[in-house]
Amino acid sequence: MSMTSRKPARLRSGDAASLSEEYQLVDRILGVPFTTSDGLSFMMGAIKTRHRGVCAEHALIYKGPIEAPAAPVLLRINSACYTGDVFDCQRCDCHWQLEEAKRRIHAEGGLIIYHFHHEGNAAGFTNKLKTYQVMDQEKKTMRDAYQHLHLEPDQRRYVSSILILEHFKISRVKLITNNMRKRDILVQNGVAVSEVIPIVSQKAEHREYLESKRDQYGHVIEFSHG
């Protein structure tokens, strides 16, 4: 379905550099069924947005109604992680988070918005691998590695997330996240967050990475002591 006639939206992203910038939803598809290797069934869709002439694509994984829902939607805003999601790299917890979000949404219903353009905190795949190299060679944390390369540690903006929620008339959510910045941006843009649901891997191989996200990025992360 072509969406080229849709009027551009002016949204607040919670970041001064992005205020009042125009984002436009230009195409969409919904209703493609799929089943995972572990037997979970979902629907898949896609949204294409355009900003200053540049298009970005976003996957939707969902179960149950997502258009003008009466109840709060269980929501995961998920940034692409090709190293983890495609190549099963265990440097981070990203693939674990995606799989855990799918399990929860399969059980309860809800929506995952998967932002392809957020790979490497929106710095891209090449820069992400450069940060890995700096982390290994210079013994730096993830945030310090980005800064060592003169990159913004987190370039992600969530204006597309807001535009997608607005498009589907989703105004109330239960948000699966450890990142309170996502909650704040939703609330600033008129989306009520009735609950924040943590999603914390307890795997030993993810501990150092999660400690860095907690200590340097402000994520709310608690580890079990069992």
**Cα separation, 179 vs 199, whole angstroms:** 10
Provide the angle, in degrees to the nearest 10, between the axes of the packed helices 180-188 and 159-167: 50
Q: What is the number of residues in the chain? A: 226
Q: Which is catalytic among the residues 154, 157, 172, 183?
A: 154
Is 156 a residue of the active site?
yes
Distance CA 181, CA 35 (A): 32
The token duo for 150 is 């003169």
Catalytic residue among 28, 76, 104, 156: 156
To the query of whether residue 143 is one of the catalytic residues in this protein, the response is: no
Q: What is the token pair recorded at 100?
A: 């855990």
**Residues annotated catalytic, as ranges:** 154, 156
